[in-house]
Structure 1
């Protein structure tokens, strides 16, 4: 379980970093890239939360 929690935290951190970079990007293409990447990491974090919840429910 600690491994799953660590992955969740990493995805959340990466999402926040991408959103921060997107907010500072001057180039529209790079801003869009980092926004999409941040959204992808947010989706991974959401999926990981569901996995953790299902593991908790099964225990």
Structure 2
């Protein structure tokens, strides 16, 4: 379970860093690219979190 938590934290951190780059970018194409990357990493983090929750519920049930 710790591996999931570590990956979750890394994905959330990477998503936040991409959002920061997006906010600082002056080039429109770069802003759009880092917006897409940030959104994608956020979705991945949400999926990891859901897998953690599902696994925890399965272990309890």
Q: CA RMSD in A?
A: 0.4
Structure 1's consecutive aligned runs of 4 or more residues displaced over 2 angstroms after TM superposition are none
Note the residue ranges of structure 1 that are not aligned, 5 or more in a row. Answer: none
Greater Cα radius of gyration, structure 1 or 2? 2
Q: Which stretches in structure 2 are left out of the alignment for 5+ residues?
A: none
Number of equivalent positions: 59
Q: TM-score, normalised by structure 2?
A: 0.95
TM-score scaled by length of structure 1: 0.98
